Structure 1
Amino acid sequence: MKGKLYLIPTTLGDTSINQVIPQDIQELIPTIKHFIVENIRTARRYLKKVNSSINIDELRFYELNKHSSPSEISGYLNAIKDFDIGIISEAGCPGVADPGADVVKLAHEKNIQVVPLVGPSSILMSLMASGFNGQNFAFNGYLPIKANERAKKIKQLDSRSLSENQTQIFIEAPYRNNKLVEDLIANCSGGTKLCIAVDITMESEFIKTLPVKAWKGMDIDLHKKPAIFLLHREK
């Protein structure tokens, strides 16, 4: 019988497994012996955290990253003829802002059953906590790095939020967070609401929504912290 492709959620940081991963998923994970992962070392550590009795040496890992070719990805799914396979990303839910989406796409083409499992998504959790429009929103991934292109994109998102009543969500490499906040303050309308969500589900969690003009001058250090940024401009 053909196996299934399970999309296995992970913690968003140093969070208790029991806090964010349902018990039935904790019981399912040890039954899977083949895993497609972004990083083998962190995947092994996560699996042992889920269940310390898991024998890592009995498992087969296939590494997935931006350098993985379509032929390699296709080969990773060959084992599913006989076994279930799990996808594990570095944090949160596989397939969302994650290279696992390429595997899922191919699985559908091969008529393989895809099973998403419940777990934490920083994108949805930040939207839930922002107070912004949850019926019309867009996840924009990373903004451009070049200053002029980034400024143009921010202004476009600000304008689009106003014209379409749409929440704009995006992320940044953690070491560029502080610069992004500066750019948002410089390029957004002062009345636009900005929500910054940091370290979601962790003890250091910080989620705050304020007008852009109110963020100006605030002493906030986001350097190297996992963060989600949301904009919403009302008429």
Structure 2
Amino acid sequence: MSGTLWLVATPIGNLGDLQPRAIEVLAAVELVCCEDTRRTGLLLHHSGVKAKRMAVCNEHTEHDLIDRVLGVLGSGGDVAVVSDAGTPGVSDPGERLVRAAIDASCNVSSVPGPSAAVMAVTISGLDTSRFVFEGFLPRKGRERATRLAELACEPRTSVLYEAPHRALRTLSDLCEACGPNRDIVVTRELTKMHETVVRGTLGSIDIGEPRGEYVFVLAGVPIDNTPATDQDVQRLLDEAIADGMSKRDAATAVAQQTGRSRRDVYQLTI
């Protein structure tokens, strides 16, 4: 029988959030795959765990680690995957190992726990009945412009991650794409001593000097049930294309925003 690949959630700040079952799994597995052996080593030491073996698993090494992980699983041993903070596989390494384990008919399970995205959306005060996780936006070019245009017409609450050195630029880009009146909640240092939650609109919010990793929770576009006219659709298409989107991408985004069929919208671009 093969071993189990465990996705183990670790604290996003407060070390007291590490679950007892996570400690049990980390102590029992044959191999712990982590982004930073020093950081995870400190967490394990704090929890009284001595890992049998550790391996670096980040965006550069995850693919090369697959054969080693499958070897341990194939011999009946268990493997744990952890990220520096939060749930592995969510904007962190782990997804490729999970896919490889599934393809090799190995067991995959998890020890659920902290997630910055879930914590941010639940304390945001925005609509939590439907929300979408966007992770990190593309850094530049057409991909970024397309994603921003999609967010501008997304009716669900959107959750984004951002690094400190790009936080102000992303807020500015979101304001330009979504308008200054869209509500947003900006969080950082969640569960830590200096946990910060700032609420406001894209046009007025002030997050001060950017520090730490951010989670943005963006309100969805208000739903207008008034049917969009061809003139409304044409105006939205012109704006999207002027922002650098292709006719095909613009038609998809505007169709989502207006509720019109993509085929009908695309015809207006021709």
TM-score range, shorter chain: 0.7 to 0.9
Rounded to whole Å, the distance in 2 between the matches of 1:131 and 1:234 is: 16
Rounded to whole Å, the distance in 2 between the matches of 1:101 and 1:147 is: 26
Rounded to whole Å, the distance in 2 between the matches of 1:2 and 1:219 is: 49
**Moved runs in structure 1, 4+ residues, more than 6 A?**
none
Alignment match, 1:3: 3
SS at match of 2:3: coil
Q: Does 1:212 align with 2:205?
A: no
Report Cα offsets for 1:148-196 as digits up to 9, x if no partner. Answer: 764553243122x2xxx21122112232222222333343212211111
Report Cα offsets for 1:13-48 as digits up to 9, x if no partner. Answer: 3x2x32x12223323322223111222222212211
1:112 Cα shift? 1.6
Gaps spanning 5+ residues in structure 1: where?
none
Rounded to whole Å, the distance in 1 between the matches of 2:59 and 2:207 is: 36
TM-score by structure 1 length?
0.83
The sequence identity of aligned pairs, in percent, is 25
Rounded to whole Å, the distance in 1 between the matches of 2:70 and 2:38 is: 21
TM-score by structure 2 length?
0.73
Alpha carbons of structure 1 residues 193 and 3: separation in structure 2 relative to 1, 3 Å: same
Task: Please list, as runs of the form range in 1=range in 2, the aligned pairs for 1:80-159 lying within 5 A after superposition.
Answer: 80=73, 81-146=75-140, 150=144, 153-159=147-153
Give the alignment's Cα RMSD to 1 decimal. 2.2
Rounded to whole Å, the distance in 1 between the matches of 2:62 and 2:90 is: 19
Rounded to whole Å, the distance in 2 between the matches of 1:149 and 1:70 is: 25
Is the 2:21–2:111 Cα contact (8 Å) retained in structure 1? Answer: no
Is the 2:62–2:96 Cα contact (8 Å) retained in structure 1? Answer: no
Alignment match, 2:167: 177
